[in-house]
Structure 1
Amino acid sequence: MKIACLEHLLPGDRLQDKWEFALRVGYDAIELRGRGAYTLRQRLPELRRAVRDGVVLPTVSVDMRHFFGAFDRELRRDAIDQVKSQLSAMADIGGRGVVTPASRGMFSPLLPPFRPPRSAEGDRDVLVEGLTELGRHAEKEGVRLFLEPLNRYEDHMVNRVDHGAELIRAVGTAGLCVGGLGLAVGTFHLNIEEDHPALAIRGAGRLVGHVLAADSNGFQPGAGHLEWSSVLSALSCVGYDGFLTVKCRLRGDEVAAVASVPAFLRSR
């Protein structure tokens, strides 16, 4: 089992310092944080040095104020351009790809005005269009774009694993090889949205290209009640051979919490 950790959770100022700690406690890689304003592209000299020093950087998680599913056309265009830049940056350092949701915090049907400004059909058209462009760019660069479904409180468009899988398959039927696209499965979101998390993973099969690990309460694995053995067994069943990236809040002493995760997951 290969386990990664989001960079800002690891102690240390430089990636090399974070890597030293990560190796010591049992991690195999660091997932980068993809802030807006083309920050990742600006970090390329730093990232190249880190890779030369042996730091394993397979993926980046998009962390911007708007995403490719935004209601506003100009914001969508900006998000797509920035994610394409991140895909190219990951190709430059030999990474696997970029993880992004369709949106985050843009609208909730559980709060007033309860009705989004765009229809469900309009949402789907926007998402397929964005995934098509991003998937083509990812395929050209030799990396992948991993779509992350979020729970209903964070995104109103793509909440379940089968939602994400259907969108990826729709892009495939439009003539794009799905090799440039995959699903990022977040265990915290599985716990909220799926009747049977393990069955959801098995249903997506080989489309599962990335896994984000947090417990049922959003804290580090081991701090909640998620049935990790069944989730890990399902990932093994579908032949998943990528990383489990720890992306969570931390309960208790933060350094100790981060350090506890690899041993906990490998004991399940």
Structure 2
Amino acid sequence: MKYGICHEHFADQPFDTAIELFADLGYDGVEITPWSVVDAVDSAADDELAAIREGVESAGLDVIGVPRVFSASDTEYHIGHLDPDVRERTVAYLRDVVEFCAAIGGGLVLYGSPVQRNVPDGVSHDRIYENTLDSFRDPALLELLESTDVVLCMEPISPGYSNFITNTAAAVEFVERVEHPKVGVALDGFHLARENRSPSDCLREAEPYLAHVHSDGDTGRGAADGTLEYGPILETLSEIGYDGYLSLEIHECIFDEVSEPLDPALVAEESLEYLRSLAG
């Protein structure tokens, strides 16, 4: 199993310092959100992007890809908005993120971003769904995915955090309807723990389209914290022949629900030790 980690949780320290920490802890790859390393994804200089890629590679790590397209504050974007101008702006930005991902050496872009996908009050779910399908089928976007060899993933976000594509089955159905080899599914332990069936069943269902897996416990404080058992998850990933990354994303850092002080470096260390102890 290859293990990755999201850089965003460490964006308050110099980039090289964070990358060195990941390498020292024993991680294999890193996920990078654009806004944690560049001022604007559509105007980052080539040498700036090359420096990010070279900094990661020089530490002996891989750039996995982009774990989040939008932050919660990017309210001017929405992938399924009723206003075609908003959708066009959103897809244009998504194409910029795909180009950013390819330029820094990554191969995955994950669409979680609940604010930019949720169904607004009083709006038909079906309208948002069909508009989102149209956005994912944007010819220029699909052509870019093919030419850069980047896979765009729909990630289900559990109820309470999103009201749109909230479980594995919905994500699989969506990807099947998009029907393109460069559009896949990403799953996350934090959200899998909130499904009404076992994570292993979810992983098996997603297997034909599964491009990425995030690790976190059901508390959002790392894979080693909480009641979610990663032994069966690792067994299932091996069983289905998954050859991608199991990559730590700390959800308390994302959703700002920190109930007590959280040390991302300690969480990163304990999570990796826990996962490796199970893998043998």
| TM-score with structure 1 setting the length | 0.86
Code of the residue aligned with 1:96 in structure 2: it is G
Query: 1:126 and 2:131 equivalent?
Result: yes
Cα distance in 1 for residues equivalent to 2:216 and 2:190? 5
Q: After the TM superposition, list the runs of 4 or more consecutive aligned residues in structure 1 that deviate by more than 6 angstroms.
A: none
Which residue in the other structure is 2:30 paired with? 30
Cα distance in 1 for residues equivalent to 2:155 and 2:39? 21
Cα distance in 2 for residues equivalent to 1:72 and 1:227? 43
Where 1:210 maps in the other structure, the secondary structure is strand
Code of the residue aligned with 1:199 in structure 2: it is D
Code of the residue aligned with 2:217 in structure 1: it is D
Distance of aligned partners of 1:135 and 1:158 in 2 relative to their CA distance in 1, 3 Å threshold = farther
Deviation per CA, 1:202-233: give whole Å up to 9, x if none.
Answer: 01112110111111111111111102111122
* Range with greater deviation from structure 2 (4-13 or 191-200): 4-13
Query: 1:262 and 2:272 equivalent?
Result: yes
Note if contact 2:117-2:164 (Cα within 8 Å) is conserved in structure 1. no
Which residue in the other structure is 1:7 paired with? 7
Which residue in the other structure is 2:176 paired with? 169
Tell me how far 1:38 sits from its aligned partner: 7.5
Which residue in the other structure is 1:79 paired with? 90
Matches within 5 A, 1:149-168: 149-168=156-175
Cα distance in 2 for residues equivalent to 1:257 and 1:168? 32
Code of the residue aligned with 2:85 in structure 1: it is E
Distance of aligned partners of 1:135 and 1:193 in 2 relative to their CA distance in 1, 3 Å threshold = farther
Correspondent of 2:218 among 191, 202, 216? 216
Cα distance in 2 for residues equivalent to 1:11 and 1:79? 24
Tell me how far 1:107 sits from its aligned partner: 5.0
Cα distance in 2 for residues equivalent to 1:38 and 1:122? 33
Note if contact 1:102-1:147 (Cα within 8 Å) is conserved in structure 2. no
Matches within 5 A, 1:34-113: 34-35=34-35, 39-41=40-42, 42=44, 44-53=46-55, 54=57, 55-61=61-67, 62-64=69-71, 65=74, 66-101=77-112, 103-104=114-115, 107=118
For structure 2, the residue ranges without an aligned partner over 5 or more in a row are: 254-260
Aligned identity (percent) is: 21
Distance of aligned partners of 1:135 and 1:187 in 2 relative to their CA distance in 1, 3 Å threshold = farther
Cα distance in 2 for residues equivalent to 1:200 and 1:185? 9
Note the aligned Cα RMSD (angstroms): 2.5
Correspondent of 2:263 among 242, 253, 256? 253
Cα distance in 2 for residues equivalent to 1:88 and 1:107? 25
Tell me how far 1:89 sits from its aligned partner: 1.7
Deviation per CA, 1:92-130: give whole Å up to 9, x if none.
Answer: 23311211126337657xxxxxx8332232122112111
Tell me how far 1:140 sits from its aligned partner: 2.9
Cα distance in 1 for residues equivalent to 2:48 and 2:15? 8
Note if contact 1:105-1:154 (Cα within 8 Å) is conserved in structure 2. no
Where 1:104 maps in the other structure, the secondary structure is helix
For structure 1, the residue ranges without an aligned partner over 5 or more in a row are: 109-114, 173-177
